[in-house]
Amino acid sequence: MKDIIPLERIEKKIFLIRDQKVMLDRDLAELYGIKTFNLNKAVKRNINRFPGDFMFQLEAEEYRLLRFQIGIIEKGRHSKYLPYAFTEQGIAMLSSVLHSERAISVNIAIMRAFVSLKSFLLSHEELGQRLDELESRVENHDEQIQRIFDAIRKMMAPESKPVKKIGFCTDE
């Protein structure tokens, strides 16, 4: 199945919506080799297995923004119904609803993609933290270096003490 569905292909179909990594019903149906209608029908027959943290329907504005973002604008590439988004747990639950060898293989590939994506994000999160630490150190160095330059400039500046006149002065 790895050869049939490359990991990169699955990862491109994972979106961040409502601060959750999800896949859309039409993308899942395509991977499973079934029609979106049939996937959603199987889910609706077993709706008690899909609570709100496993699956939710996109709102019109979310779908509009997503279509714009990924370029689903061609005629026939979108339906008149708002798509369902499945979280990682919802996708895992799909394997108990869809009974086929392909569904099992696809689910395994999708779970591997989610794990791969998590490890990728964790490594980037760690890198981001290190960059933040380095940036704060550099900012401190900038302040310290600026203080050194200010001190050097003060030492280089000619002293401007008031000069006393020599000799007899009269007050007029």
**Each residue of 111-128: pLDDT tens digit?**
778 787 777 766 766 766
- Please report whether residue 27 resides in a domain: yes
Q: What integer is the mean pLDDT of 16-25?
A: 89
Higher pLDDT, 154 or 70: 154
Q: Structural domain of residue 98, as residue ranges?
A: 7-116
C-alpha distances out from residue 150 to 130, 143, 145, 156, 159, Å: 30, 11, 9, 10, 15
Q: What is the pLDDT of residue 140?
A: 63
DSSP label at residue 162 = P
- Please report whether residue 85 resides in a domain: yes
Instruction: Answer whether residue 76 shows pLDDT above 60.
Output: no
- Please report whether residue 152 resides in a domain: no
- Please report whether residue 2 resides in a domain: no
Higher pLDDT, 73 or 121: 121
Q: Mapping DSSP to helix (H, G, I), strand (E, B) and coil, where does residue 22 land?
A: strand
CATH number at residue 23: 3.10.260
How far apart CA 48 and CA 123 sit, in angstroms, is 36
How far apart CA 106 and CA 31 sit, in angstroms, is 7
Residue 151 · residue 52 · CB < 8 Å: no
How far apart CA 72 and CA 100 sit, in angstroms, is 29
- Please report whether residue 44 resides in a domain: yes
Instruction: Answer whether residue 105 shows pLDDT above 70.
Output: yes
- Please report whether residue 146 resides in a domain: no
Residue 25 · residue 83 · CB < 8 Å: yes
Structural domains counted in the chain: 1
Whether the pTM exceeds 0.75: the reply is no
